[in-house]
């Protein structure tokens, strides 16, 4: 497999609207804007040439024992097939190219991880199969919304790992492109949802909205199920690194503090992109609500 993304002729034919030209949700300009934003911010790094920094034994040991690697590899593997399959059925050439790039980047994340696993001697459980989804739209939405949850917490935990020195600076630099990509993916995804629900035939809309609700229930159920399996080691792997992540990183941190870091990082990572694009709202809104219940007046202010 070549590890560069093959850009097509769609590029030159679909320039972004000029300057601050309006791009109302669901318009052609909106579609061009969210597709071009993903395509034009692509970073063509090659996983094969990443020079994995040499770690001292203590740091390597801590990284190896993080209970996330099996889950991370499987999630990226599933994301690649879920996103890729949906892209294949796209008639619109620009959407097709953008979704193909999204899938390519997911496959590349998996390649990055497998190189890292090899470099540091992390032992993985056998990988699960990644079957082609029967309902590509459902699969695309499952991956998209799941990334909206996981990236939100991932951004905050990455910041904690960086600030606490758990991840040495060289490793932070190596993973930074992956984090940036997840930010671009969720931005693309929520704009696709907004565009698609406004442009689909009216009779498809109720079914689509039911699917959105079903995906959220599924993802919440999946996380509750993982949390229940905490006592069981294999489940703990998959489990809520997002809930327990800061402990795994050796940092004692209160929920309001964690939530504030996640909110701030989420805002920071999504800030550079065009203001006409919408941002993921549901998970940040839930966190702000939770912060209010946690009695965090200060928390709300800095979020
Ligand atoms: Fe990914
Ligand atoms: Fe992603």
Instruction: Kindly report, residue by residue over 186-242, the tens digit of the pLDDT.
Output: 999 999 999 999 999 999 999 999 999 999 999 999 888 877 765 454 444 444 555
Ligand 2 centroid, distance to 256 Cα (angstroms): 26
Distance of CA 257 to the CA centre of its chain: 22
Beta-carbon contacts of 23 under 8 Å, excluding residues fewer than 6 positions away, are 17, 29, 30, 32, 33, 276, 277
* pLDDT at position 251: 73
Ligand 1 centroid, distance to 179 Cα (angstroms): 8
How large is the average pLDDT for residues 18-41? 90
More confident site: 231 or 85: 85
Ligand 1 centroid, distance to 201 Cα (angstroms): 31
Residues 268-297: tens digit of each pLDDT: 999 999 999 999 999 999 999 999 988 755
| Ligand closest in space to the Cα of 182 | 2
Q: Is the pLDDT of residue 54 over 60?
A: yes
Q: Is the pLDDT of residue 299 over 50?
A: no
Q: Is the pLDDT of residue 94 over 90?
A: yes
Here the tokens at position 42 are 């692509």
* pLDDT at position 51: 86
Q: Is the pLDDT of residue 12 over 70?
A: no
| Ligand closest in space to the Cα of 72 | 1
Domain ranges, ordered by start, for the chain: 28-302
| Ligand closest in space to the Cα of 78 | 1
* pLDDT at position 2: 47
Query: In which band, very low, low, confident or very high, does the pLDDT at 9 lie, cut at 50, 70 and 90?
Result: very low
Q: Which CATH architecture has domain 28-302?
A: Orthogonal Bundle (1.10)
């Amino acid at each position: 497999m070549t590890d560069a993304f093959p850009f097509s002729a769609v590029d030159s034919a679909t320039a972004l609207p000029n300057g601050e030209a309006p791009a109302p949700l669901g318009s052609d300009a909106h579609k061009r804007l969210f597709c071009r934003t993903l395509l034009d911010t692509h970073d063509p790094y090659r996983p094969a040439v990443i020079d994995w920094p040499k770690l001292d034994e203590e740091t390597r040991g801590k990284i190896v024992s993080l209970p996330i690697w099996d889950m991370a590899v499987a999630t990226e593997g599933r994301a690649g097939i879920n996103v890729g399959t949906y892209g294949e059925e796209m008639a619109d050439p620009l959407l097709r190219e953008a979704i193909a790039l999204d899938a390519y980047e997911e496959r590349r994340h998996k390649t990055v991880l497998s190189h890292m696993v090899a470099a540091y001697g992390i032992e993985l459980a056998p990988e699960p199969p990644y079957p082609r989804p029967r309902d590509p739209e459902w699969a695309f939405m499952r991956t998209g919304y799941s990334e909206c949850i996981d990236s939100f917490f991932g951004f905050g935990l990455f910041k904690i790992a960086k600030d606490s020195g758990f991840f040495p600076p060289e490793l932070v630099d190596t993973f930074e492109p992956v984090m940036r990509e997840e930010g671009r993916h969720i931005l693309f995804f929520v704009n696709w949802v907004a565009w698609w629900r406004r442009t689909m035939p009216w009779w498809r809309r109720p079914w689509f909205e039911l699917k959105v609700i079903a995906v959220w229930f599924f993802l919440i159920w999946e996380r509750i199920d993982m949390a229940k399996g905490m006592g069981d080691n294999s489940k703990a792997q998959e489990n809520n690194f997002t809930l327990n992540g800061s402990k795994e990183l050796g940092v004692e941190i209160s929920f309001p503090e964690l939530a504030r870091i996640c909110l701030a990082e989420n805002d920071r990572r999504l800030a550079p992109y065009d203001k006409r694009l919408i941002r993921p709202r549901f998970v940040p809104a839930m966190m702000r609500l939770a912060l209010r219940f946690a009695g965090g007046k200060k928390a709300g202010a800095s979020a």
